[in-house]
Chains A and B, each alone.
Chain A
Amino acid sequence: MSTPLIIAIVIGIILVLMYNSLVSKKNQVENIFASIDTQLKKRYDLIPNLVASVGKYMEHEKSILQEVTKLRAEANKPNISDEEKIHLDAKVTSALGSIMVAVENYPELKANENVMHLQRSLNEVEEQISAARRAYNQAVTDYNNAIEMIPTNFMASAMSYTRKEVFEIPDTQRQNVNVKELFNS
């Protein structure tokens, strides 16, 4: 085999490997985003129940409850972009957090079996979402690194891959807010 042919084959193999690695990174990001979507949907399904259970008692927090309902409606609209989903998620997380803190001021609610159950389910979903967000951010970081680093950046720009946005993880979740404290205090 002639030397130029060998060089051409090696370059060909390198290009294929680079291409495949970029595609697999992009798919990993999409795959994990789909899981986030499922978890977000689970959370949105819990919201009407939560609002109905606590609404009767929470006179002062009516505006937060309305806000959550509104955000849920927005999130359920068809064809919203991934970026919008990411932004809505941050808002819902903070609004739900405020509701959970407010529950503490109502002894009737803290003793209510239904609310307790909802809190447990919500806590579970929040944990799942938080895990999915962290997995997503790692996948996006790997993907962003690949499209910015030499030599894969040339291939990425040829494939017109662009940077993706990461989820901002709320500070409270970084410290893994201890929900147990909310229950016992």
Chain B
Amino acid sequence: MKSISELTDFYYKKLHPVLEELDKNRERVKKRVITIGIIYTLIAALLFFSLLDYMNIEFIVFSLVGYVALGGILYRFLISDYRDEFKEKVIRPLIEEIDSSFHYIPDLHVDVEYFNRSYLFPSPDRYSGNDLVKGKIDGVDLTFSDLHAEKEHRDSKGRRSYSTIFKGLFIISDFHKNFKGKTVVLPDTAQSTFGDLIGSFLQANNFSRSGDLVKMDSPEFEKEFVVYGSDQIEARYILTHTLMEKILHYRKHSGHPVYVSFRGRNIYMAIEYNKDLFEPSIFNSLLEYKIAMEYIKTLHLSIGIVEELKLNQKIWSKHG
């Protein structure tokens, strides 16, 4: 697999003419967004103040929410062409540069069935995503996409609202061992928030999780993660010392909370980002190093999981 520096080289050397062209486009879109944004705000403010005398507090809140929501839709509409062009001309070549066998479908996402099968999060009421990548690396199947899963809430007046269950990158890959049960690795929030004593009590009595608490024999891993499993031995069969080290390394590398589960014949990984990945920002230049690096690093991290976990080991009894 190509290294981050090779990909950065590719970004700047091979994509440069395209990027320059695209960046001019971005400037035009940015100007349009700012102009229309100002006009939109002025009209909204005019309407707001002319109706102010007739408004109660609820109506004021409602109109503010409406202003933001409509603004968001307007923004997405204004940048949609630029966004499509950015994905085709920047993200697609980058993915294909990593491995030409990868398929990139900007508008699709990982199916909700896989999300539920991972057992990492409660099943969502609203589910969306994009930037689906599918392919094989070293003979190992790999699929990932951006996801946003939400839960619906209703208040006493029947009004609906949504809270985020998960937002970020979701990765599915083959795993090289055979196992029957399920093992789930979650960020250890209880122990880091409440300390060892209360934290471990809360972990052991977490009724929202199926399976038992599995205490791992690696203090470093235990500090960062909590493991639940349907089978104490199987959980340790999957999570060897080497794999624990690799997951820890992956966690440090990503810099974001990491959720891992093993089920069926797959490993599922969810990396929380709390933002839409691979989306262009029209307020930052495409030629800025930091912005480019973020796309490259995220892609490298998603695809690099196969190498990181050495999923292509052929020494195991499991074949194919």
Interface: A132 (CB within 8 A): yes
CB distance from A180 to the nearest CB of B (A): 5
Kindly state the separation between the CA atoms of A63 and B317 in the bound complex, as whole angstroms: 29
Chain A residue at smallest Cβ distance from B314: A180
Task: Flag A111-133 by CB within 8 Å of B: 1 or 0 each.
Answer: 00000000011011001101110
Q: Contacts A120-B315, A120-B317 known; A131 to B241 CB distance under 8 Å?
A: no
Please tell me if the beta carbons of A128 and B317 are within 8 angstroms of each other in the complex.
no
Please tell me if the beta carbons of B232 and A135 are within 8 angstroms of each other in the complex.
yes
Residues of B whose CB lies within 8 Å of any CB of A are 177, 215, 217, 232-237, 240-242, 313, 315-317
Residues of B close to A176: CB separation below 8 A: 240-242
Please tell me if the beta carbons of B232 and A127 are within 8 angstroms of each other in the complex.
no
Residues of A close to B234: CB separation below 8 A: 131
Interface: A144 (CB within 8 A): no
Please tell me if the beta carbons of B313 and A35 are within 8 angstroms of each other in the complex.
no
Please tell me if the beta carbons of B217 and A137 are within 8 angstroms of each other in the complex.
yes
Kindly state the separation between the CA atoms of A127 and B233 in the bound complex, as whole angstroms: 10
Please tell me if the beta carbons of B215 and A138 are within 8 angstroms of each other in the complex.
yes
Kindly state the separation between the CA atoms of A131 and B178 in the bound complex, as whole angstroms: 14
Residues of B close to A123: CB separation below 8 A: 315-317
Interface: A160 (CB within 8 A): no
Number of A-B contacts (CB under 8 A): 49
Within 8 A of B (CB), among A69-126: 120-121, 123-124
Partner of B233, one of A32, A174, A175, A178: A32
Kindly state the separation between the CA atoms of A128 and B37 in the bound complex, as whole angstroms: 62
Partner of A179, one of B215, B232, B237, B315: B315
Partner of A183, one of B215, B217, B240, B315: B315
Q: What are 15 A-B contacts with C-beta separation under 8 Å? A: A35-B233, A120-B315, A121-B317, A123-B315, A124-B316, A127-B177, A127-B240, A128-B233, A130-B237, A134-B217, A138-B215, A138-B217, A139-B232, A176-B240, A176-B241
Residues of B close to A35: CB separation below 8 A: 233
Please tell me if the beta carbons of A131 and B217 are within 8 angstroms of each other in the complex.
no
Kindly state the separation between the CA atoms of A131 and B177 in the bound complex, as whole angstroms: 13
Q: Contacts A32-B232, A183-B315 known; A175 to B217 CB distance under 8 Å?
A: no
Task: Flag A142-185 by CB within 8 Å of B: 1 or 0 each.
Answer: 00000000000000000000000000000000111011100100
CB distance from A108 to the nearest CB of B (A): 20
Further contacts, 13 of them, CB under 8 A, given A35-B233, A127-B177, A179-B315: A32-B232, A120-B315, A120-B317, A123-B317, A127-B237, A127-B240, A131-B236, A132-B233, A134-B217, A137-B217, A138-B215, A178-B242, A180-B313
CB distance from B320 to the nearest CB of A (A): 14
